[in-house]
Amino acid sequence: MFLILASVLATLIVMFIVTNFTLGEKKIRRDIPHLYTVHDPQFQRTMGVMLGPTIVPGNRVEVLVNGDGIFPAMLEAIRAAKQTITFETYIYWSGDIGRQFADALAERARAGVKVHVLLDWVGSSKMEDAQIDEMRQAGVEVLKYRPLRWYNISRINNRTHRKLLVVDGAIGFTGGVGIADKWTGNAQDPDHWRDSHFRVEGPVVTQMQAVVMDNWMQTTGKVLHGADYFPMQQPAGDSAAQMFSSSPSGGSESMELMYLLAITAAKKSIYLSSSYFVPDELVLQALIDAVGRGVKVQIITPGKHIDTDIVRRASRGQWGKLLEAGVEIFEYQPTMFHCKVMIVDELLVSVGSTNFDDRSFRLNDEANLNIYNEDFAQQQIAIFRQDLQQSHHITLAQWQARPLLEKIVEHTLALAAPLL
């Protein structure tokens, strides 16, 4: 416990020093009345017109569960590329899976495919320069997003957290997975994480490509366009969808507003899988209000297997009001739980890179795919319930019975939640 307290103190000191560099736009409290449900056509008009790109029909979305299901599908798409590959990701580390992706991307570049890879400077810090050099020698255009320079130190915490792969402008992938060996396997032990990713076909892939291009243009000044990147899209399925994005330079809190509107519209149920659940007062109150309307709210977060214990403790420090209101909270037991999925009223499914914390809502560049399809939502609920079976239900009595020192640590970190 001494080490935990020391870690807490050090973290708070560092956060105090860098707070002027990390906090984005001034937060404005939003009053969002409950006017309609997600099934009401007005909800989709609001989501598609006021907040984000148009919701487009004719999409097919396939869920990929854990590394054994995710990486083979991504690599298969890369190896079959004919014209273009655009790839933006936060985590890319050296290792076996990193080597497989580098080899596949390099092979396609040598075959004449235009391959563009944008890696976050912080998230790719564990990637060997030699691997990047090998890709570049093969013709892959590899760039780092916002490398540290003296003139941009104030934006050191503004990272791209997006996970987007688009092949030939026709097949897209997004979700929570990074390119690192801990995402391989099937969540069979603490060394192999639990995560979900999604393969997409149809008109919404054009929106996914546009999101990738946004940061590519910011980084390079080059505009990638034409039929190789934006081909004509034919209907591929029966799901309506939109690709929603946010960034500090283009409305840093729009992602939180999207979540707030969805939570406020809920009438029946909210199922939330969240790897880092440290919401602000707006989101906390929206969830509490939802329960007050009779909405069933269940949340799965990581348990003891988590890569950032400080985040877990800050999260737990906030649970009192939620548990008192009737929100059900579960901690996933077998391994790190890295999923980022929200299902509202068995219709709307929002998946992507966004966490329920201020870093995602105000600092990072994020991207979420919103799918409007009842059958797809039922499939995701079934997966959620499978995860519930491997999770521990935290009751209000259990939360209140924590040791005193644990309460002090978690309450202190909860106060610092906006800085995490």
Q: Choose, from 116, 120, 144, 161, the residue flagged as catalytic.
A: 161
367: which strand partners? 245
Q: State yes or no: is 340 an active-site residue.
A: yes
Give the C-alpha separation, 12 to 19, whole Å: 10
Give the CA-trace dihedral at 394, 395, 401, 405, to 10 degrees. Answer: 40
C-beta separation of 83 from 169 below 8 A:
yes
C-beta separation of 99 from 417 below 8 A:
no
Give the C-alpha separation, 366 to 374, whole Å: 25
Give the C-alpha separation, 208 to 252, whole Å: 18
What letter would DSSP give residue 337?
A: B
Residue whose pair of structure tokens reads 């801990």 in the numeric block:
182
Q: State yes or no: is 163 an active-site residue.
A: yes
Q: State yes or no: is 161 an active-site residue.
A: yes
Q: State yes or no: is 168 an active-site residue.
A: yes
Q: Choose, from 195, 280, 340, 387, the residue flagged as catalytic.
A: 340
What letter would DSSP give residue 47?
A: I
Helix axes 96-110, 66-79, angle to 10 degrees: 10
**Alpha helices of 273-333 — where are they, by DSSP H?**
281-292, 309-316, 319-325
C-beta separation of 387 from 332 below 8 A:
yes
Give the C-alpha separation, 244 to 48, whole Å: 9
Nearest by Cα to 344 from 371, 366, 321: 371
Give the C-alpha separation, 108 to 116, whole Å: 11
Give the C-alpha separation, 15 to 9, whole Å: 10
DSSP-assigned states of every residue in 406-419: HHHHHHHHHHTGGG
Of the CA atoms within 13 Å of residue 311, those in its CB half-sphere come to 21
Give the C-alpha separation, 372 to 82, whole Å: 30
CA 217 to chain centre: 22
For residue 322 the two structure tokens come to: 């939620």
The DSSP bridge pattern shows strands 277-278 and 356-357 to be: parallel
Q: Choose, from 116, 144, 163, 197, the residue flagged as catalytic.
A: 163
Residues noted as catalytic: 161, 163, 168, 338, 340, 345
